């Protein structure tokens, strides 16, 4: 699988022009800050495993990373604790239920099943080795910055907006504690999880995160090896299974690439050994995925022939 920068840029521009005017979907309304983001913003960026960058439109706009943060904290946990420990304590199987489902915990109280739903993500946060909550948070923030090759910052506005509306997550954290499946103070883990979702990224920074995982865990911008190739592969597997919430199967069927969405409007797709494509548009479908982002990335991936399941007759 390969790409030519000129070809990718042309196809990206074509995808942007086709779908930039799409008015389907709406901003997330249950978090006040997200509801206030201008809904017509739209950007598309590609970062290759050699560090080449392609940018279209609103790629410098900073938005809340939200659930895409889960793959970054998962990377840190894998590096600190090892894949076997994370797998045994968190799991790696789709729940078949919404990302904030309490029912999934009740049905599978032995472990959260996956680090890419809220319960599993909070349990993953609790695994991060630290002396206290603040040190745990600083380690997560520093790792986000390293992956993005940029100084990532917490938005106090987003964090405050989320901390006042996260009663459901706090309840799930306590439920995890009741089954001994969270590994620090549960409410502290929920607090740090909420903070990690409240950091601000632009679309190039998001694509840089993806390019790091596409490049065997080595950041193509900074040159730093941040996760092992083996752990990068584990992260991509999780993204393929659960990265787009309830529509992850549809994404694998149509696009055939690991992806991760966030209700802030970000959408990241990784092409192993090639690079990463990131989109931003805050209009979401009913499952919490960017409408324009899905359309644009699907067009680029299909046109470029990037589906990992494509095969040739011999």
The two tokens of residue 224 are 């730093």
Q: Please check if 162 is assigned to a binding site.
A: yes
Q: Please check if 22 is assigned to a binding site.
A: no
What mean pLDDT do residues 43-60 have? 98
Q: Please check if 36 is assigned to a binding site.
A: no
Q: Please check if 166 is assigned to a binding site.
A: no
Structural contact between residues 61 and 280, judged by C-beta atoms closer than 8 angstroms: yes
Read off φ and ψ for residue 241, nearest 5 degrees. -80, -35
Q: Please check if 310 is assigned to a binding site.
A: no
What mean pLDDT do residues 232-236 have? 98
pLDDT tens-digit readout, 204-216: 999 999 999 999 9
Residue 171 has pLDDT above 60, yes or no: yes
Q: Please check if 106 is assigned to a binding site.
A: no
The two tokens of residue 79 are 């590096």
Domains and CATH numbers, the chain: 5-66+199-304 (3.40.710.10), 68-196 (3.40.710.10)
Give the separation between CA 138 and CA 287, rounded to whole angstroms.
31
**What is the pLDDT, as a whole number, of residue 38?**
98
Residue 141 has pLDDT above 90, yes or no: yes
Structural contact between residues 228 and 217, judged by C-beta atoms closer than 8 angstroms: yes
**What is the pLDDT, as a whole number, of residue 270?**
99
pLDDT tens-digit readout, 59-102: 999 999 999 999 999 999 999 999 999 999 998 776 655 556 56
**What is the pLDDT, as a whole number, of residue 104?**
62
pTM for this structure? Answer: 0.95
**What is the pLDDT, as a whole number, of residue 1?**
44
Lowest mean pLDDT among 62-76, 107-121, 161-175, 183-197: 107-121
Give the separation between CA 211 and CA 206, rounded to whole angstroms.
9
Give the separation between CA 37 and CA 57, rounded to whole angstroms.
16
pLDDT tens-digit readout, 14-35: 999 999 999 999 999 988 899 9
Q: Please check if 63 is assigned to a binding site.
A: no
């Amino acid at each position: 699988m390969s790409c030519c920068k000129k070809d990718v840029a042309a196809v990206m521009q074509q995808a942007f022009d086709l779908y930039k005017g799409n008015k389907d979907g709406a901003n997330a309304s249950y978090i006040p800050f997200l509801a206030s983001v201008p809904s017509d913003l739209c950007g598309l960026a590609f970062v290759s495993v050699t560090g080449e960058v392609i940018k279209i439109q609103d790629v410098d706009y900073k938005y809340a990373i939200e659930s895409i943060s889960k793959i970054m904290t998962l990377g840190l946990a894998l590096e600190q604790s090892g894949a076997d420990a994370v797998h045994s304590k968190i799991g790696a199987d789709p729940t078949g239920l919404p990302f904030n489902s309490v029912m999934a915990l009740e049905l599978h109280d032995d472990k959260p099943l996956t680090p890419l739903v809220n319960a599993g993500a909070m349990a993953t946060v609790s695994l991060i080795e630290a002396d206290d909550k603040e040190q745990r948070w600083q380690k997560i923030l520093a790792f986000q910055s390293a992956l993005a090759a940029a100084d990532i910052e917490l938005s106090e506005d987003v964090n405050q907006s989320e901390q006042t509306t996260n009663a459901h997550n706090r309840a799930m954290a306590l439920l995890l504690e009741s089954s001994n499946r969270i590994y620090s103070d549960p409410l502290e883990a929920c607090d740090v999880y909420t903070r990690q979702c409240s950091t601000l990224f632009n679309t190039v920074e998001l694509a840089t995160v993806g390019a790091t995982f596409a490049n065997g865990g080595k950041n193509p911008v900074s040159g730093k090896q941040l996760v092992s190739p083996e752990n990068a592969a584990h992260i991509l597997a999780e993204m393929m299974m659960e990265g787009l919430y309830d529509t992850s199967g549809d994404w694998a069927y149509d696009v055939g690439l690991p992806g991760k969405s966030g209700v802030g409007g970000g959408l990241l797709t990784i092409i192993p050994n090639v690079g990463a494509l990131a989109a931003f548009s805050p209009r979401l479908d009913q499952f919490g995925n960017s409408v324009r982002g899905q359309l644009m990335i699907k067009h680029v991936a299909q046109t470029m022939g990037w589906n990992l399941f494509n095969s040739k007759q011999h």
